[in-house]
Amino acid sequence: MFRVTAEAAQGTVAFDIEGDRKLVLGLEDNGVDILHRCGGNAKCTTCRVEILAGDPGEIGEVEKAILATKTDLNDHTRLSCQVRVMDDLHVKVIRQASVEGMDAGGRPTE
Ligand code: FES
């Protein structure tokens, strides 16, 4: 089990998550309505988070390629649909359904 602390629109949300589980699902299951518009396929980047502390693991080629197309991100940005939790993490959630007034998107698979 790892501990995730997320800075979200509603404030700080903290929860435990099983190792190797997708970060996006942990966030959603603990009340953070993070966007995941492409359903967890590393295409939309709406599930992005800023990693404030902890090791999110190696970035894959597909994730790296889509993030490289965005100019408004920093080096600590990761796609929460591609991060499988393997460390305690402190993250900042960038985009939420309730803030943007849009549907979150299809739920990513486990
Ligand atoms: S990139 Fe679309 S849900 Fe993660």
Convert the pLDDT of each residue in 21-66 to its tens digit.
999 999 999 999 999 999 999 999 999 999 999 999 999 999 999 9
C-alpha 41 – ligand 1 centre gap (Å): 5
Distance from Cα 87 to the centre of ligand 1, integer Å: 21
Q: DSSP state, 84?
A: B
Please report, as a single letter, which amino acid is at residue 63: E
Taking the C-alpha atoms of 43, 8, 84 and 24 in order, what is their torsion angle to the nearest 10 degrees?
-50
- Ligand 1: residue of 25, 33, 46, 63 to mutate (most ligand atoms within 8 A of CB) is 46
Write down the CATH number for the domain with range 2-100: 3.10.20.30
Question: What are the residue boundaries of the structural domains of the chain, listed by start?
Answer: 2-100
61-110 pLDDT per residue, tens: 999 999 999 888 888 999 999 999 999 999 999 999 999 999 999 999 99
Neighbours of 92 (CB within 10 A): 15
Q: pTM of the full predicted structure? A: 0.96
In whole angstroms, give the CA distance from residue 72 to residue 102: 21
Question: Is 40 close to ligand 1, i.e. is its CB under 6 Å away?
Answer: yes
